[in-house]
């Protein structure tokens, strides 16, 4: 349980960092509607923030747009407020709120504190140290170990493999991802590399755009089946996206107040497809693969390009996302909440909770997993 919590906190930290570097930029939940509410005013600070959190989830998260789900959510309010009577720390409140989320199954929606994030980071470093990882430089002997870079690659011409470790769906200004990929695929072509290994086992997400930059080298975009995005047009969402105010008004006036808004497909008529890589592609999926990195693998699975090896996913191929960061006004608790539902390209598999790899691999044994890859997918030159 503790390990799962630490993992969730690390995912949350990554997501929030991607949205805003400064927590002070997060929108603070308003309690103006409760200024004349006698019950609210008599609560302690933890109860007050619990009330605001429950309202935020009910009014913002796509899952709770259905009235029966919302009623079920608020049915837990009295129990949560009673629990908050004896809470004495922000960390205990964060734990209680995360526990209250129960069956939501959305790792993007959770709360934490600066202290918990620091503890999770230290615990992660300790875990790596105990595993003997003191250096993060890429090297052939420990090719599958986590590297300190956002992304890097290494070509092994003798077995015709290019190993790409893709650790974050983000851009390194010192090594722009688009140029990095152009360089990598050019070197692969020159060396006649037959297999590209894309290792995302340490990638907890970021921005889908950087996954698309990689995918456009692997699959024709004109044929790509994509996710369908549905948005909950809430008041809190419009605080981040003021242009959505009019859209929300028109949507509700059209009789769709209790429906999710389907985002239109994004078609770029001026798009120029790069030359496609014609070799085989192997994706490595691990317990930390999440969010945008999970989307990359879902695209690969539902569009039938590449082989996925590793562990069962911790993400759902259809999932909630597009996070909105927030702070609670009475404590130092902060977090994020999803405002969109993403339905996977193959809608016949929408209800599958996890993704299974094509080949299961014990990724905790770096040497054995790399040997399996080289033996199964390497080609002697």
> Which of 57, 88, 121 lies at the terminal end of a domain, its last residue?
121
Mean pLDDT of the chain: 90
Answer yes or no: do 308 and 192 share one domain.
yes
Region 193-201 average pLDDT: 98
Element (H, E) at 162: strand 161-166
Do 114 and 162 have their domain in common? no
CATH number, domain at 184?
A: 3.90.226.10
User: Tell me, what's the pLDDT at 140?
Assistant: 55
Question: Same domain, yes or no, for 301 and 154?
Answer: yes
pLDDT for position 4: 38
Entry field: residues in the chain: 381
The pair phi, psi for residue 231, each rounded to 5°, is -110, 140
Domain containing residue 193: 138-226+265-317+352-377
Residue 253, in any domain of the structure = no
Query: Is the residue at 31 inside a domain?
Result: yes
Assigned domain for 327 exists: no
The answer on pLDDT for 162 being more than 60 is yes
Whether the predicted pLDDT of 168 surpasses 90: yes
Kindly state whether residues 103 and 185 are assigned to the same domain: no
Q: Could you give the 3-state DSSP secondary structure of residue 32?
A: helix
Residues 112 and 33 in one domain: yes
pLDDT tens digits for range 96-137 = 999 999 888 898 999 999 999 889 888 877 877 776 665 555
Question: Could you tell me if 112 and 154 lie in one domain?
Answer: no
Task: Identify whether 343 is part of a domain.
Answer: no
Specify if 133 maps to a domain. no
Is the pLDDT at 202 greater than 80, yes or no?
A: yes
pLDDT value at position 125?
A: 79
Q: Give CA–CA dist 365/145, Å, rounded.
A: 9
**Do residues 114 and 156 both lie within one domain?**
no
User: How far is the C-alpha of 168 from the C-alpha of 170, rounded, in Å?
Assistant: 5
The larger pLDDT score, comparing residue 97 to residue 12, is at 97
Q: Are residues 18 and 98 in the same domain?
A: yes
- Position 21 scores a pLDDT of 47
Residues 84 and 150 in one domain: no
Total structural domains within the chain? 2
Structural domain contains residue 245: no
Is residue 185 included in any domain, yes or no? yes
Q: What tens digit of pLDDT does each residue of 348-367 get? A: 999 999 999 999 999 999 98
Mean pLDDT (whole number) for 225-241: 96
Q: What pLDDT score does 132 carry?
A: 64
Asked if residue 20 has pLDDT above 60, the reply is no
pTM of the model: 0.87
Do 90 and 169 sit in the same domain of this protein?
Answer: no
Dist. CA 82–CA 225, nearest whole Å:
48
Of 121, 146, 175, the last residue of a domain is 121
pLDDT band at 24 (very low <50, low <70, confident <90, very high): confident
Share above pLDDT 70 across residues of the chain, in percent, rounded to a whole number: 90
Q: Does the residue 332 lie in any domain?
A: no
Q: Write the CA distances from 378 to 189, 279, 363, integer angstroms.
A: 16, 11, 18
Of 87, 121, 155, the position where a domain reaches its end is 121
Do 172 and 56 fall within a single domain? no
């Amino acid at each position: 349980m503790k390990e799962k919590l630490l993992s969730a906190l690390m995912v949350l930290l990554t997501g929030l960092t991607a949205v805003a570097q400064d927590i002070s930029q997060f929108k603070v939940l308003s309690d103006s509607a409760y200024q004349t509410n006698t019950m609210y005013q008599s609560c302690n600070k933890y109860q007050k923030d619990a009330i605001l959190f429950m309202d935020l989830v009910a009014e913002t998260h796509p899952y709770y747009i259905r009235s029966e789900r919302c009623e079920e959510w608020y049915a837990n309010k009295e129990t949560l407020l009673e629990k908050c009577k004896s809470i004495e720390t922000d960390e205990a409140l964060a734990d209680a709120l995360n526990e209250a989320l129960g069956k939501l199954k959305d790792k993007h929606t959770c709360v934490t504190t600066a202290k918990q994030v620091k503890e999770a980071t230290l615990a992660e470093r300790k875990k790596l140290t105990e595993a003997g990882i003191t250096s993060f430089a890429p090297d052939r002997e420990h090719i599958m170990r986590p590297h300190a870079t956002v992304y890097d690659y290494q070509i092994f011409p003798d077995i015709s493999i290019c190993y790409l470790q893709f650790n974050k769906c983000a851009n390194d200004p010192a090594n722009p991802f688009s140029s990095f990929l152009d360089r990598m695929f050019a070197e692969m072509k020159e060396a006649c590399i037959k297999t590209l290994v894309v290792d995302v086992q340490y990638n907890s997400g970021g921005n889908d755009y950087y996954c698309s930059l990689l995918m456009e080298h692997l699959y024709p975009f004109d044929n790509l089946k994509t996710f369908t995005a549905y948005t909950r047009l809430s008041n809190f969402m419009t605080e981040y996206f003021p242009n959505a105010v009019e859209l929300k008004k028109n949507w509700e006036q059209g009789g769709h107040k209790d429906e999710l808004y389907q985002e239109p497909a994004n078609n770029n008529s001026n798009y120029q497809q790069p030359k496609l890589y014609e070799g085989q592609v192997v994706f490595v999926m691990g317990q930390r693969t999440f969010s945008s990195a999970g989307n990359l693998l879902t695209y690969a699975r539902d569009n039938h390009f590449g082989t996925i090896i590793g562990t069962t996913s911790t993400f759902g191929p259809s999932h909630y996302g597009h996070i909105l960061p927030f702070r609670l006004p009475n404590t130092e608790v902060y977090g994020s909440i999803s405002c969109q539902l993403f339905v996977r390209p193959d809608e016949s598999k929408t209800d599958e909770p996890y993704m299974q790899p094509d080949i299961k691999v014990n990724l905790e044994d770096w040497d054995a997993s790399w040997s399996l890859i080289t033996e199964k997918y390497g080609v002697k030159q």
